[in-house]
A and B are shown apart, each in its own frame.
Chain A
């Protein structure tokens, strides 16, 4: 639910190996045996988590890569077929469609969400920082994707949804938000923007609190107006936070599945068949586990590439402070 990074190491220095002590505890050295360290105790404490890491993360990753080079329909054993899955994927129009549709979704979702969140964060910074307001803005994020999907499926219903009712009352015409090919993806993007907007705003808001007040005071004394202050101080100093938020939200955005599965199920035709939904269908509806695994590997590689490019071009690990 958050965007952690590895931060500083432990507050303590490793005790220098002592040649005289032979397992005797030395007061003032936190009682560590200087030669053995705490390895036995550490192994005990870490055992359950390590089991989870190995069995449900590391081994599956290796198995996933292996399966991507096989043909496997769950029954029987996987058959090694080399790179055939990948060659087939390269010729698969539905894969390219999924890639395009997902890309379209990510762009609409991320642009809208980040701009709205940045706006809300700045508004909160300016006029209201209360926990109550932040709480109300956070509420959609705490709801399950399935709930957000159903809620908007109803609000945006073509026949009697309130949004279309209001559109018509205002003189517009009804929109088939879920039923038309041109609207299917923008609608999915809007639903997820609604759910993530407040959360992202809170992340950016937290980043705003770190910018030294003196900078604003100095700018104010120099006669800088609000727009200048935003572009010369706020935005540059917020950049590391924005990059982190972008990396995490873009990675999440590429994995859109829940709202699609509950509402349009890839349709109409292929308009909302996003990558993860296509993988799900290949593996579980069509029982093509090898092909599905190869698609998952490709999605993973795309995510790594996207994260890398973002860090590189937005210089996410550098700060303009100091």
Chain B
């Protein structure tokens, strides 16, 4: 993929430099890394703690009264009495449902957006037709439009279609394309060799066959990257699902987290429960990141800053 650059040996590496000159830079970099990842440990530590005991052990580095009660509470497995005894609100909450909804929402919108964007990218990169550049410019321009500007009319549209609080209404604005996906794939499709395609054309292959049998398989790597990026983006989406999917049966994790937080007792919040819920919401992306981290990291800095 053209988006990665192998780290070159800089002149600094070749000149002999005393190691102690790197001590301060290393300390600063490790500090930045600590600030980036240590908060996640605190989430884990708190989620495994007994909420009622947190106040007395605010700075304990290990979980306080290690237990899984907070997770049971988040998944609705704890009786109301137990929940209240452990410092929860006792309100009915079930993150299994939100987890399921998030998976459906993110998967559907990702699958649709990537596939239809790939089709469009094929037309922009490999086909010749009048008005191609103008239409592509229109796609690019929408990348600059702030979501709030289209969110209000789109809400009205979904409402008029009777699709409020349905999964279809939630995914519709994303499922046909994302401007970024069109742009991203067009770049890759343009750089692909034409030879195989030409041979196939001489054999009488139609565009549909070329798209499915030559273009898509050859672009598997960038498509996989795009699927990852889009999925994470959709998984994290908050504003739109908040507007059109706030009923319990279609509520996604981000919205559910907000609701859970607002239900938590004001004076003494259920921090263990909140952090357990946060961890549950973060876990799928964390897992993806453990497996595909390199792909994700290397995609940052794509094109615009090339």
**Which residues of A does B touch, CB under 8 Å?**
1-7, 9-12, 14-15, 25, 27, 30-32, 37-39, 41-46, 48-53, 55-61, 63-64, 67, 74, 116, 119-120, 123-129, 131, 133-140, 142-147, 150-155, 157, 159-162, 165-166, 169, 194, 197-199, 201-207, 209-210, 213, 216-217, 220, 241, 244-245, 251, 254-255, 257-258, 261-262, 276, 279-280, 283-284, 289, 292-293, 296-297, 299-300, 303-304, 307
B54 within 8 Å of A by Cβ?
yes
Q: Are A128 and B29 in contact (CB under 8 A)?
A: yes
* B73-81, B88-96, B216-224, B254-262 - the one binding chain A: B254-262
Q: Are A48 and B119 in contact (CB under 8 A)?
A: yes
B39 within 8 Å of A by Cβ?
yes
B16 within 8 Å of A by Cβ?
no
- What residues of B have a CB within 8 angstroms of the CB of A166 in the complex? 59
B contact residues, range: 35 or more
With A4-B303, A296-B152 as contacts: A137 and B128 at CB distance below 8 Å = no
A50 to B235, CA, bound (A): 24
- What residues of B have a CB within 8 angstroms of the CB of A258 in the complex? 238-239, 254
Q: Are B304 and A244 in contact (CB under 8 A)?
A: yes
CB of A294, distance to nearest CB on chain B (Å): 10
Q: Are B274 and A150 in contact (CB under 8 A)?
A: yes
Count, A-B residue pairs, CB within 8 A:
343
Closest to A254 in B: B146
A203 touches which of B157, B261, B300 (Cβ 8 Å): B300
A60 to B102, CA, bound (A): 26
- What residues of A have a CB within 8 angstroms of the CB of B145 in the complex? 57, 61, 300
CB of B118, distance to nearest CB on chain A (Å): 9
The SS class assigned to the B binding surface is helix
- What residues of B have a CB within 8 angstroms of the CB of A307 in the complex? 144
Most chain A C-beta atoms within 10 Å of own C-beta, residue among B28, B147, B282: B282
A57 to B289, CA, bound (A): 31
- What residues of A have a CB within 8 angstroms of the CB of B37 in the complex? 136, 139
A51 to B253, CA, bound (A): 29
A232 to B302, CA, bound (A): 26
- What residues of A have a CB within 8 angstroms of the CB of B229 in the complex? 1
CB of A272, distance to nearest CB on chain B (Å): 16
A137 to B31, CA, bound (A): 11
A116 to B274, CA, bound (A): 30
B201 within 8 Å of A by Cβ?
yes
CB of B46, distance to nearest CB on chain A (Å): 7
A7 to B302, CA, bound (A): 12
Q: List 26 A-B contacts (CB under 8 A).
A: A1-B180, A37-B129, A38-B129, A48-B177, A49-B177, A52-B176, A57-B142, A59-B153, A60-B152, A63-B156, A120-B32, A123-B32, A138-B300, A139-B37, A143-B282, A144-B281, A144-B282, A147-B278, A151-B40, A209-B5, A220-B11, A255-B148, A289-B152, A296-B148, A299-B146, A300-B149
CB of A126, distance to nearest CB on chain B (Å): 6
- What residues of B have a CB within 8 angstroms of the CB of A42 in the complex? 123, 127, 129, 132
- What residues of B have a CB within 8 angstroms of the CB of A41 in the complex? 123, 127, 207
B232 touches which of A46, A142, A280 (Cβ 8 Å): A142
A150 to B278, CA, bound (A): 7
A151 touches which of B122, B128, B233, B278 (Cβ 8 Å): B278
Q: Are A142 and B289 in contact (CB under 8 A)?
A: yes
- What residues of B have a CB within 8 angstroms of the CB of A11 in the complex? 190-191
With A56-B173, A209-B5 as contacts: A262 and B258 at CB distance below 8 Å = yes
Q: Are A60 and B300 in contact (CB under 8 A)?
A: no
Q: Are A160 and B58 in contact (CB under 8 A)?
A: yes
Instruction: Tell me the residues in window 29-58 of chain B with beta carbons closer than 8 Å to chain A beta carbons.
Output: 29, 32-33, 35-37, 39-40, 42-43, 46, 54-55, 58
- What residues of B have a CB within 8 angstroms of the CB of A255 in the complex? 146-148
B1 within 8 Å of A by Cβ?
no
Q: Are B301 and A207 in contact (CB under 8 A)?
A: yes
Q: Are A124 and B29 in contact (CB under 8 A)?
A: yes
Q: 16 other contacts beyond A60-B154, A220-B15, A258-B238, with CB at 8 A cut-off?
A: A2-B304, A25-B201, A30-B194, A38-B127, A49-B139, A50-B135, A52-B175, A67-B153, A123-B25, A127-B25, A134-B300, A144-B237, A202-B297, A204-B305, A261-B258, A303-B146
B120 touches which of A50, A157, A254, A293 (Cβ 8 Å): A50
A216 touches which of B10, B35, B36, B132 (Cβ 8 Å): B10
B116 within 8 Å of A by Cβ?
yes
A311 to B122, CA, bound (A): 31
Closest to B8 in A: A213
Q: Are A45 and B122 in contact (CB under 8 A)?
A: yes
Closest to B290 in A: A135
- What residues of B have a CB within 8 angstroms of the CB of A43 in the complex? 129
- What residues of A have a CB within 8 angstroms of the CB of B201 in the complex? 25, 30-31
